[in-house]
């Protein structure tokens, strides 16, 4: 089975500046996506899916972020 094409792959292929221009957003936002600090809002993800002709999917946009941040998401601090 081949590796899925992820949002990071797309950004690396196109460059962050080009992706930002295509979507009309700040390049810093694309940087955050690439480094899994945040993810696109759903309407932007839908644009990405359309721009790539389905090469990117909901899963290939959001799952790498979840996988990268799962440990942080599972930490609970009950000290308060």
What is the rounded radius of gyration, in angstroms, for the C-alpha atoms of the chain? Answer: 14
The Cα-based distances of 68 to 17, 20, 21, 28, 54 in angstroms read 23, 23, 26, 19, 23
24-78 pLDDT tens trace: 999 999 999 999 999 999 999 999 999 999 999 999 999 999 998 887 766 666 6
Taking the C-alpha atoms of residue 35 and residue 68, their distance in angstroms, rounded to an integer, is 10
61 contacts 11 by C-beta, under 8 angstroms? no
Which residue's entry shows tokens 């999917």?
57
Task: Quote the number of domains for the chain.
Answer: 1
Domain of 64, in residue numbers: 7-74
48-62 pLDDT tens trace: 999 999 999 999 999
User: Would you say residue 37 lies in a domain?
Assistant: yes
User: Would you say residue 47 lies in a domain?
Assistant: yes
Q: How many residues does the chain have?
A: 80
Q: What's 38's domain CATH number?
A: 1.10.260
User: Would you say residue 1 lies in a domain?
Assistant: no
């Amino acid at each position: 089975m081949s590796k899925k094409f992820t949002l990071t792959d797309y950004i690396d292929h196109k460059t962050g500046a080009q992706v930002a221009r295509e979507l009309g957003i700040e390049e810093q936002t694309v940087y955050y996506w690439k480094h899994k600090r945040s993810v696109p809002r759903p309407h932007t993800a839908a644009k990405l899916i359309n721009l790539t002709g389905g090469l990117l999917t909901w899963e290939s946009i959001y799952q790498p972020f979840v996988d990268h941040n799962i440990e942080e998401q599972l930490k609970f601090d009950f000290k308060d």
